[in-house]
Structures are given as structure tokens and as C-alpha cells.
Amino acid sequence: MNRSQGINRRDFLKSLGSGIVILTSANPLVTLAQNAKFIYPEDFNAYLSIGTNGRVTVFSGKIEMGQGVLTSQAQMVADELDVALSSIDMVLGDTDFCPYDMGTFGSLTTRMFGPALRTASAEARWTLLNLAARQFNVSTDQLQINAGVITVTAHPEQHVSYAALSHSASVIHATSHKAILKTAAEFHQMGTSPSRLDGGEKVTGAAKYSADIRLPRMLYARLLRPPMHGATLLHVDTSALEQLTGVTLVNENELVAVLHAHPEAAAAALSRIKAQWTLPAKTLIPENIHQHLREQLTEMKLLVNQGELPESHNKAMQLIESNYTKGYVAHAPMEPHAALADYKNGKITIWASTQTPFPTRDRVAGLLDLPQKNVRVITPFLGGGFGGKSADQQVMEAARLTRITGHPVQVAWTREEEFFYDRFDPASTVNVISGTDQNGKIVAWDYTVYAAGDRGAIPSYSLPNCRVRSAGQSLYENAPVKTGVHLFGTGPWRGPGANMNVFAIESQMDIMAAELKTDALTFRLNNLTDARMARLFKVAADRFGWFNSARFRGQGYGLACNIDAGTYVVCMAEVSVDATSGNVSVHRVVCAQDMGIVINPDGARMQIEGGITMGLGYTLSEEIQFDGGEILDNNFNTYSIPRFSWVPKIDVVLVKNDALAPQGGGEPAITVTGAVIANAIFDATGVRLFQLPMTPKRIREALAAQQKT
């Protein structure tokens, strides 16, 4: 199917009004990122328009969920186009106006979409420069540009604004010229940290999220939910609704919903429905899930196989085998999934909290059997996503209900629904067998990860004899119950797979260092040939004041590294452990990152601070409790996410590396958080935790076990 069906080219250009429109064709990086199959088939994938009022409108398929790409994308355009940041308007995630995008995830916006956007802006600048050259009858090198005004250098009285040029010019499709992007030395906007462009809206309550959109005649829907995953509806009794006024009932194809003009009335109506369910047997529980995963996931993908394994085991003085485990973790964004859908005259418009507006549009078209061009998804601000809003069940529910009722319908999940239908970070387990020789070199590394995924599974170290296998790496299931592996939905969770893999790898590194009675940093440097990582370790160590205290007196230091989304990251942390309670306090974290050119340094710091803070959750407290398909956590009283008092002093070091294009920033820091805390806990107590999260109870148990030995 032709992906450009969303809107026809001529209509689209007409809809933008007068002025200049610059379209940029795909560049190879974007093609790669978009996964050939999904590439926007028409000949552009980034564009902007310059209105006759001088405003620059940027259209981007990316969405803003807090990560700051509204601002950083505007900075890129401002710099390449030579306009003031304040003259830019951003349109994000609107499928009728923005170029196709597969979704906002994987720390891809800056490193993959950024080059296309910058190219569009640079081509726009080049086009405008040529229009001005024609007008003044000079060559382009006799012109200069400042804040959207082009001036003849030798005759400053001769000048023309972008706005004036766009009055006289029609649409231009700039593909003939390959624009040259500015270098870091030429940046004025990139590399600086202007205040977030969405700050004003967000502190005044003006910023709109999906559940804030209001339409005439709209109804609020509440849906009947099963008591556990895998339950089937046996019988439903809605007779009690007959006494209520203003309630619309929908009951078809297992979609049972009540709708009302007031959300509380809809909730009250839902509570009067009586339903009987057939419940499946409860077999899986947190205590047996990892064994289940190892048994189910027997198909292995070989990621690395080099050197002589298992023969090299003989070269090792000692082999160490460890098993690491982690439970299911919820995304728990502050904004639960929400959507408002409005179906009329064969067309549907949907405001949705989704990280994937275009795939969501396509799924709605499929669900309602509508042509793609009759489906428009608009993405307001998202109140957090973290991977969880790549799932869009709430959109499908709203789409079905507006189609059935003929009213605009809001489906805004309760916190309980959010926990129940979240696509959790999957429970996972890692087995690793490793050994070192008498020189402290790693001579054997045999690593198998189950259910977490491939990301972060290949260590950053030099491992001549190495096997890395991953089982069940694509377990992001839409219909998880059918496969029998997970009882409920799982999906990408900020730094998917890497959080677990780095925890396992860097814990194992520390165990080997401790066995050799070698400093944890020295041991790593001794097994590292990657100069960029070695340099970063030294930067972090200097800032932190690193030494491996191994005091086991309740206070300790830990470190960990990873390469994620093209970014190198090293973290060091200082913790203390209360032996009586098992509570861990994280006092300070130094995080050094080499992420190439940094578009917005303060924005990058926010992502690092946010990653580490959020990471404390999967590290210390977050683990979904379940009994078979029943999710026992349904709100924040039992599911504990990081709070103000948990947050350490976070010291971020951004290593200058302007020779490298911008790399990812949303996830690298979170991927090392579990490992760095685990290693610091070991340094503080002499106790090694093999299971995430490292709850007070688990720490108390480990300390008690240590005392027995």
C-alpha cells in the first residue's frame, strides 16, 4: 500500500497556504532508521514552510513526550536556516501534515531524523539565498544572512526578508541541490541550551494532552475489564443500567462499554454492570517465571561467536558462573493512555497519546476498514511514554466506540487500567560463564540472555573468546497470551534489554575483578581496547574521585559502562546501605557521556538525570507482582517509583566530541543505572545481588546469608 495516501500531494501543498515549502528527500540514515519497508514513498521525509508572515513552520512526525525534541528540532532548523528560534512553529505527530515516521523511540530523533531535518533547513536557506541573488542581481557569495534577512554585503541598504521572498515565490521542491550542513564551529543555536519552547505552556496548564481535548457532543467511555489476563467473558448483565439516564451502552464482540457526558457518571454506570468470567488456572508466579522463560525460550540467536570456546575455559584460572534475573517492570507514565476519537462522514480524527502516530493511523484504518487517507491521528503532548505508548490499545477502543455511537468518544484509562494493560518490560534472565587468566585478561565469556533482548548484550570489552546468545529477543508481543511465554503484554521499556544486559555484564565484570583482588576500574581498563571508552572512564574517574574502597562498611563506590544508541556512557555512584533495614541510599552519581555533537546540552543533561532517576526504580523497587494472569499492583500504593528523597546528586560530564554527528541521548544513562548501583552495593557490603530490583528485603536476606558463611 502506498504510504503517501494520507493526503494527496497537491491538496497537501495547498493546505499549507502561500509561501515557500521545502521538501527534503530521504537520506540513507533515515532510510535505515525507517526500515526500508516503512519509508515514506513519496520523495520527501522532512520539510518546512516559510510563510508570508515570516513564520517558519516545521513538520515532524516525531512526538514530544518530555524528552525535549520540540526544542532541539527547532534549534536545528533555526541554525541551518539562519532564523531566530522564536520565529519557528513546530507541528509534531500530525499524520495529515507531517512526513511519515515509524515512531519516537530508541533515542533516534536527533541522530536519525535530525540529519534530514537539518538538510531540509539548509536547502531552504540555499533556495532563499538564490532567490535573493536573482532579485539583487548578484552572486550568492555576495550575500549574507542574519535572522531571516538577506543582505548584500557590499550594499547593506539592499536587503530582503525571508517573508518578502516567500510573497513572491511559489512552492519549491528542493531536491536538485545537496545542501551542506553547518559544522559545529558555525553553530549559533545548536550547542546552546535555550529554555524549553514548551515550558510556558506547561507551567500555566495551557499545554494540551490527549485527555484535555474537548469536542461538542463528546462522551466519556469506561470499558468492562477482565479480572485477569486470559479471562474470557461468560455472561454480562447490564440490566441495572436501565434505571440510569444519559448512559449509552455498547455491547458487541466482547467490547462492553458505557458512555456518558460526564466521566464520573460513566464510571458509576460501569460499576453497575455484572459480569461473569471464565478464569484460567494460575500457574506462573514471580518465583517460577525465570525457570519458565529458560524452558520456553530454547531457540537461540547467536550474536557473537569468536575465539575458542569452550576450549579457552582451560586458560582461565577459575571459571565463574552466574545467573541474573529481573522481574516485569511497568512504564507508569504520569499520564495514563488516552485518546479522543471523532468519526463522521466516513472519516475519523483521533487525538492520541501515542509514540507511533503513523503506525497507529494504519492500525485504525485496518480496524475500521477505512482508507488511510480517511484516518488522521493528531498527537498532542504526551505525559511521558518511555516505550509504553508505542502500544495503542486505547486508540483502537476509542475508534470502535466513536464508530458505533456516532459521538466523539474519549477513552482515558484509569491508573488501574494503565497497570493492567501496560506492556511491561519483560521478566528476563541471564546466564554467564566467564574466566580470567593470570594477567587479569578475560579469556572466556559465554553469555546467554533470555527474554530481555539483544540490546546491550555485547560487552564493550575486548573478549577474544566470546559467545553471546539471545533467546526470545523479539518478544514484544501484541497477543502475548497465545504464545504462552508471557501471560500479559510486554514491550519496549526505556533502554529495552540493555538495562538487564548491562546489569549482568557489569556485575560479572566486578565479580571477576573482586576475585582477582583488582580495582574494578583497573580491571576494566586492562580488558578494554576501545580508546574512546577508556578515555571516558578516565574522565568519569577524575570527576568522581574514583577508588575501589572495598571497605564493606556500609558505604561504597560502583561503576559501569555501556555503548547505547551510538553514545558512550560511564557512570560511577556512591551509595550507603543500612544493614538493618536493607535500605540503599544513593548519594551521588557521576555520569560521563560521549554523544558526539550535543544539540542542546541542558536537554541532554535532563535526559541523563531523568534516566538515572527513573533507573533507580527498576534497580531498587519496581517489580510487578502477579499471580498467574492477575496483576496485583494496580496503583502507586504498592508499585513504588522513585521519589524526591531517593534522588542523588547527579553530576553530568558531556565530553566534547564535535567530530562525531549527534548520537542518542534518551536512554544510555538508564542502561547503566542498575549495574552501577549493584556494584556500589557490593563495595559497601561485600554482598552481591543477582536479582533486580535490589529491594530492602533481598538485601537483608543476602546480608543474612553472608553472615552464615
Q: Which residues bind other proteins (CB under 8 A)?
A: 65-68, 195-196, 198-209, 211-212, 214, 262-264, 332-336, 381-384, 386, 412, 414-416, 602-603, 606, 609-614, 635-637, 641-645, 647, 649-650
- Contact present, 348 and 512 (Cβ < 8 Å): no
- Cβ proximity to other proteins, 51 vs 66, nearer residue: 66
Q: Is the dihedral of CA 354, 357, 360, 364 positive or negative?
A: positive
Residue/partner pairs of 145-149 with CB below 8 Å, 24 or more apart = 145/82, 146/82, 147/82, 147/83, 147/84, 147/87, 148/54, 148/81, 148/82, 148/83, 148/84, 148/87
Distances (CA, A) of 610 to 422, 594, 601, 616, 673: 21, 17, 14, 10, 11
In the block, residue with C-alpha cell 496483576: 631
- Cβ proximity to other proteins, 381 vs 424, nearer residue: 381
- Cβ proximity to other proteins, 31 vs 634, nearer residue: 634
End-to-end CA distance of the chain: 65
For residue 147, count other CB atoms closer than 10 A to its CB: 14
- Contact present, 654 and 601 (Cβ < 8 Å): yes
- Cβ proximity to other proteins, 200 vs 484, nearer residue: 200
- Contact present, 81 and 73 (Cβ < 8 Å): no
Beta bridge partners of 430: 324, 449
- Cβ proximity to other proteins, 42 vs 64, nearer residue: 64
For residue 440, count other CB atoms closer than 10 A to its CB: 15
Residue spans of beta strands (DSSP E) within 584-689? 584-594, 626-627, 630-631, 649-654
Q: How far is the CB of 175 from other proteins (least distance, A)?
A: 36
Q: Specify the amino acid at residue 555.
A: Q
* CA atoms of 80 and 578, how far apart (whole Å): 53
Q: How far is the CB of 234 from other proteins (least distance, A)?
A: 28
Q: How far is the CB of 652 from other proteins (least distance, A)?
A: 11
Task: Please state whether beta strands 347-352 and 338-344 pair in parallel, antiparallel, or not at all (unpaired).
Answer: antiparallel
Q: How far is the CB of 589 from other proteins (least distance, A)?
A: 11
Q: How far is the CB of 540 from other proteins (least distance, A)?
A: 19
- Cβ proximity to other proteins, 353 vs 508, nearer residue: 353
- Cβ proximity to other proteins, 158 vs 640, nearer residue: 640
Q: How far is the CB of 609 from other proteins (least distance, A)?
A: 6
Q: How far is the CB of 215 from other proteins (least distance, A)?
A: 12
- Cβ proximity to other proteins, 18 vs 640, nearer residue: 640
Q: How far is the CB of 593 from other proteins (least distance, A)?
A: 15
* CA atoms of 286 and 427, how far apart (whole Å): 9
* CA atoms of 148 and 56, how far apart (whole Å): 10
* CA atoms of 275 and 38, how far apart (whole Å): 42
- Cβ proximity to other proteins, 400 vs 494, nearer residue: 494
- Cβ proximity to other proteins, 207 vs 309, nearer residue: 207
In the three-class reduction of DSSP (H, G, I as helix; E, B as strand; rest coil), residue 552 is classed as: coil
Q: How far is the CB of 378 from other proteins (least distance, A)?
A: 16
- Cβ proximity to other proteins, 106 vs 610, nearer residue: 610
- Contact present, 231 and 629 (Cβ < 8 Å): yes
Q: How far is the CB of 374 from other proteins (least distance, A)?
A: 28
Residue spans of beta strands (DSSP E) within 543-654? 555-564, 567-577, 584-594, 626-627, 630-631, 649-654
- Cβ proximity to other proteins, 595 vs 612, nearer residue: 612
Q: How far is the CB of 201 from other proteins (least distance, A)?
A: 8
* CA atoms of 569 and 670, how far apart (whole Å): 10
* CA atoms of 209 and 188, how far apart (whole Å): 32
Instruction: Give the CA dihedral 548, 551, 553, 559, nearest 10 degrees.
Output: 20
Residue/partner pairs of 580-584 with CB below 8 Å, 24 or more apart = 581/696, 581/700, 582/695, 582/696, 582/697, 582/698, 582/699, 582/700, 582/703, 583/696, 583/699, 584/620, 584/677, 584/681, 584/694, 584/696, 584/699
Q: How far is the CB of 611 from other proteins (least distance, A)?
A: 7
Q: How far is the CB of 512 from other proteins (least distance, A)?
A: 32
**DSSP secondary structure, 377-419, as one string:** EE--B-S--TTGGG--HHHHHHHHHHHHHSS-EEEE--HHHHH
Distances (CA, A) of 309 to 388, 458, 464: 39, 16, 10
- Cβ proximity to other proteins, 78 vs 332, nearer residue: 332
Q: How far is the CB of 268 from other proteins (least distance, A)?
A: 9
- Cβ proximity to other proteins, 390 vs 548, nearer residue: 390
Q: How far is the CB of 647 from other proteins (least distance, A)?
A: 4
Q: How far is the CB of 416 from other proteins (least distance, A)?
A: 8
- Cβ proximity to other proteins, 198 vs 515, nearer residue: 198
- Cβ proximity to other proteins, 415 vs 543, nearer residue: 415
Beta bridge partners of 145: 150
Task: Please state whether beta strands 149-152 and 143-146 pair in parallel, antiparallel, or not at all (unpaired).
Answer: antiparallel
* CA atoms of 16 and 171, how far apart (whole Å): 10
Burial letters for 159-176: b for 16+ Cβ neighbours within 10 Å, e otherwise?
Answer: bbbbbbbbbebeebbbee
The helix or strand, by DSSP H or E, that contains position 623, with its residue range, turns out to be none
* CA atoms of 674 and 670, how far apart (whole Å): 8
- Cβ proximity to other proteins, 113 vs 220, nearer residue: 220
Q: How far is the CB of 544 from other proteins (least distance, A)?
A: 18
Interior CA angle at 146 toward 145 and 148, to 5°?
Answer: 85
